[in-house]
Chain A
Amino acid sequence: MKFTMSWLKEHLETKHKDTQIIDKLTDVGLEVESFENISSDLDNFKVAKIINAEQHPNADRLKVCDVDIGQQNIVKVVCGAPNAKKDLLTVYAGPGSVIPKNNMKLTISKIRGVTSYGMLCSESELKLSDESEGITELKPSKYSDKIGNNFFKNNTEKVVDLSITPNRPDCLGVRGIARDLAAAGAGKLKNISHKIVKKDGSQNIKVSIIKDKNQGCTIFGSCLIKGVTNKESPKWLKEKIESLGQKPISAIVDITNFVMLDLNRPLHAYDADKIDKEIIVRNSKKGETFEALDNKEYKLDDGMCVISDQSGVLGLGGVIGGTRSGTELKTKNILLESAYFIPRSIRKTSKLLNIDTDAKFRFERGIDPQSIEIGLIKASQLISEICGGKISKFDIQKIKQYKNSEIKFNISLFEKITGFKVKENEIIKILNDLGFKISKKKSELNLKVPFWRPDISQQIDIVEEIVRIKGYDNIETIEPKKNRIKDTLNKQQKLFHFLQRSVASKGYFETVTWSFTDSKINNLFKENLNEIKIINPISSDLDVLRNSIFSNLTFYLKKNLDRGFKDISLFEIGPIFKNKQPGQQLTVIGAIKSGKISRLNWNEKDRSVDIFDVKKDLIQTLMEAGYDKQSFFIRDKSPTYYHPGKSGSVYLDKDDIDPVAYFGELHPNIVKKLDIRTEGVVGFEIYLDYLKDTKIKLKDQKPNFEYSDYQKSERDFAFIVDKNFKAQDLIDIISSIDKNLIRSIKIFDIYEGENIPDGKKSIALNVTIQSSEKTLEDSDLEKINKLIVTTVETKSGAKIRS
């Protein structure tokens, strides 16, 4: 909402300075976006100095001038004036300027092969005089220190731009703003003064509001103004319209706009001669069409509120008028409309047709239903003053009576909500100034809410009115108490924070990417989950919710590789979506690693990242989070976006149904499809929702501290097993032989090839044996060794390698 201070003062009698008014506006909740001069076309004309003038290489009568236009900018301008010479002070117009004399818009152009940036102007071009012989010569005494300044004074008045919240339609008119300021003590609201309009004859175009279902119009006021001469608006009106950055159109249109901005009372003017016999306000029928003032043809649905005549639709009530009945300069007779449209109806129609107009914006928020007449009075009077014409009697059709809503306000509620007291008589004064009608009953105020405040319907609204006018500064600051009744984080949240930092501590950069992604990439990772489309995506490559974190991670991996980074470790912790209902999401860590380990390192041989790098990071993370590695179980099943032979899943326990994590190499086909060029891409995913919530705290899970000082023995074994035999199973078999004696098992070699039969491999392992009761004798050790060999051989079909 824009207005000038002088306009405001037509409604507000005030001695406050502009800056005080600006502060006051902010204080009462009318946020000031800006308070500045509207930039004018004339700002492009600068005082300038020719610092060098040379003959144009290709034209005898032209010169090429170097022109100082201020702020250390020198531009080249081609000029034909005989008086253009070094050191002349003159007026320069930059590209984009419009020359006042001929309304020509300047562009950067080549004149006979030399580029000219703008133009030096003659007095006649600037409409200063008729002198057109040479360029303007400015007196050095007056202008030598003004190089770069605007040549023309900006005469526009400063404009206040307010951002009005949707609950305050009354402040979409200057008067409403003045009322708030007056209530807040920034002056006195002036009475609206208007001469008594002489009314001539009756409004003889019949108006009827059809009582359709959900009729969007409840009041339709109108008058005829006959014998007008539509023309350019007078200067004062033009300036008002222009000061708001709008273009004046014609007196009649400008007057209706002015009344709308002044009183928040939208009006519409019809060319009365183009109306076919009568005005019928009714619901539209599906398929009806009309051409609106924005020159677009709209096809209507059922039930939209239209203003029509016998031939069809004239306009969409409260939204936009139609071209068929629009006023023109030659319009002689006007039908002026001042109506009330129901916000819900306006909103529905404009949404469906996607139309946004000033009128729609206002009706949608709620217009004062009692401003019908004042709107007609003010506009018709201005029209007859400026355009002449005779004003008819007003015709006001109503299908609904509006009554002030009433609120019983318990004064004590104010202090209860705001924490501070305001005296009763001050409360009454504030509400009175805002337009409430008040009667007092003990500690209660009976309030009649002014019609222009559709936002006020209950006691709390009254509290807000008082506190914002009184000032939020009066609210005291109560220091918060430092007591806690509940843990800040629950277990799952603690786990989230722990895992996040645990993964990062292994050299991964945490990233945060969109929860949506490109469906084409998502398809590579979505497995059997449903694709979740966004109906109105921000762009076509962010069109679905992500089914996996890998879609975005791989996308950004590639971007960073393209930036020239080689060894990248990234992770994200966040939601993935299984389906589109609220809650059908999982919290997942996705981590990805690419390139090499120890690239270009003087003392270690480099190698590509492999799955055992990510497996280590994954297992260590789970261990750090408090899960027992001894019971982890690895399966070689994993989603299809992993390399089928180089990936696996981790279960917290062998008997668990759901894996808590996957790890592996990214499927080579996907790497190829995404055009990821690097030595290797491996990654892992942890599903936080599947990580069991341990009921017992970690500190209570620990067994007693027991240890053995008896001698340890180590024995090496090598077993020949089937190639597909899993190391985990071998360890499982051995460790279950004697949990008391077998302390640890380490695999130190895997071998295939010479001396090993085809389809077999050798697993070499080291077993630590220790008793907690005694030092083991050779015979004890021999016994356990034998047991290990026979058990492994019988259970696994392995053969000990001699």
Chain B
Amino acid sequence: MSDIKKIRDVYLVKLNNSLDTESVNQIKTELFGKNGQISNSFKTLGSLPNDERKKFASDLNSIKEELQKKINSKLQEIEIREINSKLDNEKLDVTLPEREIKQGKIHPVSQVIDEISSIFSEIGFSVEEGPDVENEHYNFSALNTPDNHPARDMHDTFYLDNNKEILLRTHTSPVQVRTMLNGKPPFKIIAPGRTYRSDSDQTHSPMFHQVEGLHIDKDINMGHLKGCLNYFIKSFFEVDKIKMRFRPSHFPFTEPSAEVDIGYELKDGKIVIGEGDKWLEILGCGMVHPNVLKNVNVNPNKYQGYAFGIGIDRLGMLKYGINDLRAFFETDYRWLNHFGFDPLDVPSNYRGLSR
């Protein structure tokens, strides 16, 4: 008995020393190898008398367990120490740059179209589209703008044929016509898209974007028009209050017609939309002219409603502080990077329009 206790004491002392894996394994062999001291002790069991044997076996087992545990923990300790010492040599300069990042960008016009669609989606408008190339009828005549109408002069039209029959649409209003011809009232649509006029300076470019809105039902009046635009402008500029002014104006396809101004002020040279004392014209609208409804086979005695047209690029310029319209279409990498949006930044009602 005292022998095995002695073995235990000796080896526990040994194992408390600082050791490497190899010497621990050596100890392991000395104790539990074929001729190991513990192994040999087990061999003596058979020669012991019965009454001693049980006690000895129990003691021996507990000593064996104790030593094994000690060895295992020692081995683990060594392993951890070795890893740790290795880690000291594996130190990287984590301030070195990561691998190449290529962040893409969404063009402001696309972002603004998504914002607009999201807002109008909330109040039940769906999106319709039409062709960029239109014929004279859909772009003008059906919209109560006959050939001899001076209003045509306000649209500097690009033509694709000498008879001036085929043209690039000067507004997105032809989508109104197409939508109404192809369906039955009620209509509640917006139509965003490219539009074209042969005009080019700081505030005009030969191509720009417009969103047309149309709501036709039995009892839609100018109050609904005001409410809709008020809701849209407030949502788009993400402000609680907005100053809005409806001014009488004239468009051949609406009557009564209005131009809408919103209040703004200049703060540090930037336009702040909201309550200032200056007015900014942002859109044209009105009640769809009975002649237009007749042209698309909608009975104007039964149905009525409003339409509006808003410049998308201009809205984007105002919201995001962009000064030059032409820059939208010049593909300057620096500009796209600066004003573009992250592709994951999808405007939506519940996450908010802009970050």
Contact = CB atoms under 8 A, between A and B. Distances in A.
B346 interface: yes
Contact of B256 (A166, A464, A489, A584): A464
Contacts of A538: 158, 198-200, 206
Contacts of B166: 580-582
B96 interface: yes
B331 A511 contact: yes
Given A581-B133, A581-B166, A480 B331 contact: no
A226 interface: no
Interface stretch (A144-152, A189-197, A293-301, A559-567): A559-567
A515 B194 contact: yes
A29 B286 CA distance: 13
Given A483-B124, A510-B340, A534 B158 contact: yes
B329 interface: yes
Contact of B126 (A488, A500, A574): A488
A352 interface: no
B16 to A, nearest CB: 46
A482 B122 contact: yes
Interface string A536-579: 11100010010000001000100110010100111000110100
Contact of B162 (A506, A535, A597): A535
Contacts of B340: 509-510
A536 B158 contact: yes
Contacts of A563: 332-334
Interface string B91-111: 000001101101111110110
Interface residues of A, number: 97
From A464, A537, A574, A604, residue with most partner B Cβ within 10 Å:
A464
A500 B347 CA distance: 14
B343 A489 contact: no
B223 interface: yes
Given A475-B246, A509-B105, A533 B129 contact: no
Contacts of B173: none
Contacts of A565: 333
Interface stretch (A93-101, A401-409, A414-422): A414-422
Nearest to B134: A582
Contacts of B105: 504, 509-510
Given A419-B223, A488-B121, A344 B158 contact: no
A26 interface: yes
A463 B134 CA distance: 32
A457 to B, nearest CB: 10
A422 to B, nearest CB: 13
A603 to B, nearest CB: 7
Q: How large is the interface on B (under 10, 10 to 19, 20 to 34, 35 or more residues)?
A: 35 or more
B114 interface: yes
A633 interface: no
A708 interface: no
Interface stretch (B36-44, B69-77, B148-156, B263-271): B148-156
B278 interface: no
A136 to B, nearest CB: 40
Interface of A: 26-29, 31, 165-168, 343-344, 347-348, 364-365, 416-420, 458, 460-461, 463-464, 467-468, 472-473, 475-490, 493, 497, 500-516, 532-538, 542, 545, 552, 556, 559-560, 563, 565, 568-570, 574-575, 577, 580-585, 597-598, 601-604
The 5 closest A-B pairs by CB, nearest first: A507-B102, A29-B248, A419-B223, A165-B250, A556-B331
30 contacts: A26-B247, A29-B250, A165-B249, A166-B150, A166-B153, A166-B154, A168-B250, A460-B290, A468-B248, A472-B245, A472-B258, A478-B227, A490-B126, A497-B114, A500-B106, A500-B110, A501-B344, A504-B343, A510-B105, A510-B340, A512-B328, A514-B329, A535-B158, A536-B198, A545-B133, A545-B168, A563-B333, A581-B133, A582-B133, A601-B100
Interface of B: 96-97, 99-100, 102-107, 109-110, 114, 117, 120-127, 129, 131-135, 138, 148-151, 153-154, 158-162, 166, 168, 188, 194, 196, 198-200, 206-207, 219, 221-224, 226-228, 230-231, 245-250, 255-259, 287, 289-290, 304, 328-334, 336-337, 340, 343-344, 346
